[in-house]
Amino acid sequence: MIKRSFLGFVTPKLKHNIVPGPVQELPVPSKVTLLLKEPQNGGNASSLKAGDTVRTGQRLFASPDSAEYVISSVTGTISDVAPYMDSYGRKYAAVTIETGGQDDWEDEFNKEPSLDTALKFFEYAPGNPSFRPFADPEKTIRTIVINGMDQDLLITANQYVVQNEAADIKEGVKALEKITGADRIVITVPENLVQQANTTGAELKTLSTTYPDSLPHMIMKNMLGQVVSAGDTPEDTGVVFINAEAASAIGAAFETGRLRVTKIVTVVGKDGNTTNIRTRIGTPLRDILQACNVSINERDRLILGGPMRGTATYSEDLAIGPDTDGIVVQDEANSSQVTDYPCINCGECVRICPVKIPVNMLVRFLEARLYEDAASMYDMECCIECGLCSYACISRIPIFQYIKLGKYELSLTETAEAANE
């Protein structure tokens, strides 16, 4: 539940919803769309073509020599392979598969827990874990944190998993030990899930339910006593974060011999009520909203993710990915629209920022697209992407979106400069 303070001087406390509702299982949709990253080395976006038949659990590659793949969540026939660009300009092939009848499972999954297996089969698992840091010779990963608390308000997908799939997480912990050789596996949960988390075999840490304490940088500082330097990631400090849903999916895969191809999503309707559903990865938003009786009118806001950190999107034809924990629909009348009003220097963003960034100054440089100055003078890269500044901004400046764009643009510049050296 979001609690907004009515006293202007008091920092509002935002609390997570810690009681996950039951999960409604959706039937197999008539089609799914999976986004396949374009190979980094260029070349064909995809060697897949309309008319190809695919099986459930089959790996679909961008090109024969690419490391990028998706896992087909259904059995059926590819009906379209179209270029797709996300809001940052990253390119994908959108692979649409018309489903047909029963699942015919691909049996390529190798049941031996190893890093090679994880890289081959789990990079598209629900929860979207990445094992690439373990294969990076420049990184030494000693600790895995299984995050059993969702990273945005109102979303309860991972809490549902801890509450109901602790046995699968336990198998996941055993598999992660073999796959990665990590010395330490920690699970973080709110107080009400301690009993279930205690059965997983991971070291237990109890999180406060105050937002944004479940974000990785905050867990690093508050639970592990490690501060991530500006511009670094937890992996640079030797820690990898994996969502509880991913740990459960990995455990279940080794238990059953089949990859999990479904995703739990919390749907937040216009009235703020939430419904948890489980559906195939790649299900169109339209099917999910219909199943939850949520209708959309023109100018309503549709958000992929949660209310604080999610990304507004434009079409119900888009599909959920392995990292989609939430879908939020806001009525036009009740959603605060962003504006191009100027900053009035009220300081609310500075007071609410958990890492004390001078956001009022930062936003001026971001609006002028001076990203290098924003990073070097106003700590842009210290931002932990909680979205609290946008929430507090009286001028409704989309600060959080500016910061994410600024970081992305700066990373492109740095990559290009490194390539030219």
Residue numbers of the site for ligand SF4 (CB under 6 A)? 343-349, 352-355, 357, 359-360, 363, 383-389, 392-395, 397, 399-400, 403
Whole-number minimum distance, CB 380 to ligand SF4, in Å? 8
Three-state DSSP state, 84: strand
> Least distance in Å: CB of 295 to ligand SF4?
31
Secondary structure element (H or E) that encloses residue 286, with its range? helix 285-291
**Of the two residues 85 and 230, which places its CB atom closer to ligand SF4 in the complex?**
230
Q: Which is nearer to ligand SF4, 141 or 397 (CB)?
A: 397
Give start and end residues of each alpha helix (H) in 138-267. 157-164, 166-180, 194-197, 216-222, 244-256
Please state, in angstroms and rounded to a whole number, the distance separating the CA atoms of residues 126 and 248: 9
The least distance separating ligand SF4 from the CB of residue 145, rounded to whole angstroms, comes to 19
Query: Residue 301 Cβ, how far from ligand SF4 at the closest point, in Å?
Result: 19
Give residues with Cβ within 8 angstroms of 182, minimum separation 6. 141, 142, 143, 144, 176, 240
Q: Per DSSP, which regions of 38-133 are E strands? A: 53-54, 59-61, 69-71, 76-85, 91-99
Closest CB to ligand SF4 among 63 and 237?
237
The nearest distance, CB 215 to ligand SF4, in angstroms, is 9
Looking at beta carbons only, is 122 or 400 nearer to ligand SF4? 400
Residue 368 CB, nearest approach to ligand SF4 (Å): 14
Q: Rounded to an integer, what distance in angstroms lies between the CA atom of residue 318 and that of residue 18?
A: 28
Decide whether 121 or 378 has the Cβ nearer to ligand SF4: 378
Structural element, H or E, at residue 302: strand 301-304
Q: Show the DSSP H helices in 303-398 as ranges.
A: 348-352, 359-367, 371-378, 388-392
Which is nearer to ligand SF4, 321 or 358 (by Cβ)?
358
Nearer to ligand SF4, 123 or 381 (CB): 381
Rounded to the nearest whole angstrom, what is the least distance from the CB of residue 121 to ligand SF4 in the complex? Answer: 34
Paired residues of 116 in beta bridges = none
State the burial class of residue 47 (Cβ atoms within 10 Å of its Cβ: 0-12, 13-18, 19+): middle
Query: Is the Cβ of residue 62 or residue 380 nearer to ligand SF4 in the bound state?
Result: 380
Which residues touch 90 (CB under 8 Å, ≥6 apart)? Answer: 37, 38
Instruction: Compute the distance between CA of residue 157 and CA of residue 20 in angstroms, rounded to an integer.
Output: 7
Handedness of CA 224, 228, 232, 236 (dihedral sign): negative
Q: How far is the CB of 14 from ligand SF4 (least distance, A)?
A: 12
CA–CA gap between residue 238 and residue 254 (Å, rounded):
26
Based on CB atoms, which residue is closest to ligand SF4, 126 or 216?
216
Question: Residue 380 and residue 383: Cα distance in Å, rounded?
Answer: 6
- Closest of 71, 33, 63 to residue 45, by C-alpha: 63
Min dist CB 351 to ligand SF4, Å, is: 9
Q: Helix, strand, or coil here: 404? A: helix
